Amino acid sequence: MTRKFFVGGNWKMNGDKKSLGELMQTMNGAKLDPNVEVVCGAPSIYLDFVRSKLDAKIGVAAQNCYKVPKGAFTGEISPAMIKDCGVNWVILGHSERRHVFGESDELIGQKTAHALENGLGVIACIGEKLDEREAGITEKVVFAQTKVIADNVKDWGKVVLAYEPVWAIGTGKTASPQQAQEVHEKLRAWLKTNVSEAVANSVRIIYGGSVTGATCKELASQKDVDGFLVGGASLKPEFVEIINAKA
């Protein structure tokens, strides 16, 4: 089964209308591989702005959302609000949400369920920290995180799984293509055993963690790497090169 290559750009808490406007102009004018699904994760305050300026063929994602439609939750945004801005994706469970803001697996699962019920596509992030990898418990950690997400998914057609080793995010360190492939392959085997063979074959598992123009081609050639979630490089012109890694 052919899985459509997926490249997400996570802009994090970066940019302003001027710099993001210039970035979008570059992307709108670039020759992007038509066989790749591209989604840009914008700061929530700019979702409307980004959706109005970015070419319709490029998707937009919120970087987070809450687990209920509305209420007394100062500073949060809901899937309903995200959709009201014409945006169809959300990134959930990013390691910075887990480890900087203390979000639990359970909360991420609840958010995933609510986002999917409201028709958003979810880029669900999982990944181990350096001490966990060194202790040899990578599989234990990522399987536990994946299980909580899986327990909250009814329609896998709207889910992209993003494996992001925390030790490789923003550090300049990248998991080697072999390390990435090994974890992706094991994740697919876990999905086959615990969800279904059909889901294991169809769900896209993308890699995140200091992906650059220099590392993207070899990573993209791995059998179970179905795309990327790109941080810092998604704010630079080389993002186009990463999108076209398979071309």
What residues are annotated to the active site?
A: 94, 164
Task: Measure the N-to-C terminal CA separation of the chain; round to a whole number of Å.
Answer: 19
Amino acid at 15: G
- CB contact burial 201-230 (16+ within 10 A = b; e otherwise): eebbbbbbbbbbbebbeebbebebbbbbbb
CA distance 122 to 99: 19
HEC secondary structure over 49-114: HHHHHCCCCCEEEECCCCCCCCCCCCCCCCHHHHHHCCCCEEEECCHHHHHCCCCCHHHHHHHHHH
CA distance 37 to 151: 26
Amino acid at 224: D
CA distance 220 to 94: 21
Q: What pairing do the DSSP bridges indicate for beta strands 36-42 and 5-10?
A: parallel
The secondary structure of residue 28, as a DSSP letter, is H
